[in-house]
Amino acid sequence: MRTSGLRPIQAGLVPVVFCVLLAASGSARSADGDMVVESPAAAMAPGTALFAGDPRPYQESPYAHSMDRGLKFVLLDKDPERFMHLAVLDYLQRKFGLGQRFSISRAYDPDIHIEVNTKDMAAFGRLTTPFHRYTPGDTGEVRDFVKAMVVGLYSDRFPPPPDYVTRLRGELEANRGKGGMHDYAVTHHALAFHWMVENNVAWNYEGSKGLRPEFANAMVEIITRNGPDKDISYEAMAFLQYMGFRSMVKQEWIEAVAAAQRPDGGWGYKPDTGPSHGHPTVLALWALLEHALPDVPAVTWVQRTEDDINSTSGKSAPAETPPAETPPAETPPADTPPADTPPADTPAAAPKE
């Protein structure tokens, strides 16, 4: 995902890439606080655990070694803008049962990682703790797709205006098929809407029915047009599987993701230009993990307190169920009627005193 410094595409302004292109190298501190005098490029023997004693739930995947190396790259990456990469890593740890060192509480220690830019924590901290508080401001913002993500993230606490989903649909129509940063607008608006789904408020809004499959088809188009070995395609593949459209992700795309990995364990924005970077790396890793572990139960990325859950319980239509099998991209997938009950959502435990 890209966050910092992005402006509406329609304004004609050139957005600033969220992550500064820096290669991770040299000394670092591990998630346990121990000095590590190696870089992510350090060799790893195929078939061995990333760290001794860590669970390796993906070990039966033919891409297990790729995931080992990708996890190591993200964990030891020194990009100061990496908070969002760690927020993704924290979600992957929760969903797929990875080692605790990949949780945000272990991977980010403010007393050790003083070089991390914390500006994104204010808006997106709810992805890593349900007790985070933030006021999104203009809940009607949709053209700036990063701000739209924030609106979606807090949509249960600060409801968007009644026409918000209709406007999201309009943004999809305006950006679909145009390429460049317009493709990122499509993926990020899809994420904004899916966070509304996780917050159990999406189905209150006119225009919600059928929007998820439209986003899914648009993301398939992005992968097909750009090729499966680009950052935007890794993002689209990860989001498709996260949103429940796993069957739309082709095996040859996954093979291309694994093949694009660099010798240092990372991925680049493009396969043959620029250094490896945390943004494409964590997204490629996400896509591979989803492919390797298709049967894990759905886990929401948005973290909600018991009060959050109670605030929307019984007040909105039941959440939609992802289609079990999605038609090919050439045919718009049929929307699945709402399920009888919302997806299970486990209240977070109260913080320890």
- Model confidence over 110-135: pLDDT tens digits? 777 778 888 889 999 999 999 999 99
Q: What is the pLDDT of residue 18?
A: 33
pLDDT of 110 reads: 78
pLDDT band of residue 7 (cuts 50, 70, 90) is: very low
Q: What are phi and psi of 176, to 5 degrees?
A: -60, 130
Rounded Cα distance, 220 and 166, in Å? 22
Q: pLDDT higher for 89 or 39?
A: 89
Closest CA to 279 of 12, 6, 36, 24: 24
Cβ–Cβ < 8 Å for 199, 155: yes
- The answer to whether the CB of 189 falls within 8 A of the CB of 148 is yes
What is the domain partition of the chain in residue ranges? 9-41+56-312
320 burial type by CB count under 10 A (0-12 exposed, 13-18 middle, 19+ buried): buried
Please write the tens of the pLDDT for every residue from 140-152. 999 999 999 999 9
Q: What is the pTM of this model?
A: 0.80
User: What pLDDT band is residue 207 in, cutting at 50, 70 and 90?
Assistant: very high
> What pLDDT is recorded for position 114?
79
Please write down the HEC assignment for all residues of the chain. Answer: CCCCCCCCHHHCCCCCCCCCCCCCCCCEECCCCCEECCCCCCCCCCCCCCCCCCCCCCCCCCCHHHHHHHHHHHHHCCCCCCHHHHHHHHHHHHHHCCCHHHCHHHHCCCCCCCCCCCHHHHHHHHHCCCCCCCCCCCCCCCCCHHHHHHHHHCCCCCCCCCCHHHHHHHHHHHHCCCCCHHHHHHHHHHHHHHHHHHCCCHHHCCCCCCHHHHHHHHHHHHHHHHCCCCHHHHHHHHHHHHCCCHHHCCHHHHHHHHHCCCCCCCECCECCECCCEHHHHHHHHHHHHHHHCCCCCCCCCCCCCHHHHHHHCCCCCCCECCCCCCCCCCCCCCCCCECCCCCCCCCCCCCCC
First to last CA, the chain: 34
Supply 77's token pair.
Answer: 């990456």
44-48, 175-179, 342-346: which has the highest mean pLDDT? Answer: 175-179
pLDDT band of residue 21 (cuts 50, 70, 90) is very low
C-alpha distances (whole Å) from 69 to each of 105, 142, 285, 294 are: 21, 37, 9, 21
Q: Which residues contact 259 (CB under 8 A, 6 or more apart)?
A: 229
Amino acid 288: pLDDT: 98
Rounded percentage of the chain residues whose pLDDT exceeds 90: 68
